Amino acid sequence: MRILITGANGLLGRKLVDLIENENDIELLASARKPVASKGDTALLDVTDLQALKKIVADWNPGVIINAAAMTQVDQCELAKDDCWKQNVNSVSNLVEVCTENNIHLVHVSTDFVFNGKEGPLDELAVPEPVNFYGESKLEGERVILNGKCSAAIIRTVLVYGVTSDMSRSNIVLWVKKSLEEKKPIKVVNDQYRTPTLAEDLAMGCLLAVRKRSTGIFHISGYEMMTPYDIAIKTADFFGLDKTLISPVSNFVQSAKRPNKTGFIIEKAKRELGYKPHSFFEGLTVVKEQLNSLSL
């Protein structure tokens, strides 16, 4: 099996590369806008460039594409809507076109932010209604896939955390840990609810969808519903840091509105894919072990 990963320099992309490199029956091409570190083949690719995408597919002939490329900075999406649409919708149109023409199975990563946040946790039958432009763009990407003719699985996820050696962006666990280690007081939202997802679990969920050539929508996340404040407190306790530096804040105003309550019911993924996520404590243990090995 030959798999092309887009967005291979992001947190999920790196975890996918690490996971798939160890699969003996898979040949991997890891692609991103900037050079990718991988034992296998790599390529520079901007998926908004249809001709560049077509050339890589023609040259390399993948049977599967895992699309981990996206503009995910929620506030930036609100401020740069054209760029957001280009990266989160136009690029998906390109992938659907190429996958349809070449009989390629597409696994596409989406988000809990397609929902309005009025209730949760949510299963795959919940009706999307985004409250910010990032969510609108990701929902439109889903529609492009569902209205297309290629074989595809949509993997929605929630608040991904984890660590790699070449992190381009932080995430809530690393931000809390670093801030507290530097003795910085932090304010953390306590009126939003999520089911945080270990990056390794999300990568495994994508690979399970690849191996089963699954189609349709799957919710992939952790199973524990928490606020970001809960996450921060648990992170402080786990790493032995001063949680008195953490202050809860409600009705926090940002450029883009956030859904108050999402989180996922993951029974379909467990039943159909064999998905088994770590607990949050187990996820922190994974992060700690990796940080120790990287001496970060």
In a domain, residue 104? The reply is yes
pLDDT band, residue 253 (cuts 50/70/90): confident
In a domain, residue 290? The reply is no
List the CATH number of the domain containing 81: 3.40.50.720
pLDDT, tens digit, 9 for 90 and up, residues 197-251: 999 999 999 999 999 999 999 999 999 999 999 999 999 999 999 999 999 999 8
**Mapping DSSP to helix (H, G, I), strand (E, B) and coil, where does residue 67 land?**
strand
* Beta-strand relationship, 246-249 and 186-189: parallel
Asked whether the predicted pLDDT for residue 165 surpasses 80, the reply is no
Which tokens go with 139? 């929902």
Domain count, the chain: 1
Asked whether the predicted pLDDT for residue 296 surpasses 60, the reply is no
In a domain, residue 148? The reply is yes
Angle (deg, nearest 10), helices 199-211 and 11-20: 60
Cβ atoms 53, 47 nearer than 8 A: yes
Q: What does the pLDDT read at residue 96?
A: 98
Q: Say how far apart CA 265 and CA 199 lie, in whole Å.
A: 18
pLDDT, tens digit, 9 for 90 and up, residues 76-133: 999 999 999 999 999 999 999 999 999 999 999 999 999 999 999 999 999 999 999 9
In a domain, residue 288? The reply is no
Asked whether the predicted pLDDT for residue 63 surpasses 80, the reply is yes
Q: What's the pTM value of the predicted model, to 2 decimals?
A: 0.97
In a domain, residue 181? The reply is no
**Mapping DSSP to helix (H, G, I), strand (E, B) and coil, where does residue 272 land?**
helix
Q: What does the pLDDT read at residue 169?
A: 67
Query: Considering the chain, what percentage of its residues have pLDDT values greater than 70?
Result: 98
Q: What does the pLDDT read at residue 168?
A: 53
Asked whether the predicted pLDDT for residue 280 surpasses 90, the reply is yes
Asked whether the predicted pLDDT for residue 295 surpasses 80, the reply is no
Asked whether the predicted pLDDT for residue 166 surpasses 70, the reply is no
Find the angle CA(278)-CA(296)-CA(163) to the nearest 5 degrees: 30
Q: What is the mean pLDDT of the chain?
A: 96
Which tokens go with 237? 């306790």
In a domain, residue 31? The reply is yes
In a domain, residue 238? The reply is no
pLDDT, tens digit, 9 for 90 and up, residues 7-58: 999 999 999 999 999 999 999 999 999 998 888 899 999 999 999 999 999 9
Full residue range of the structural domain in which residue 18 is found: 2-169+196-223+264-277
pLDDT band, residue 157 (cuts 50/70/90): very high
Which of 156, 151, 119, 153 has the alpha carbon at shortest distance from 135? 156
In a domain, residue 175? The reply is no
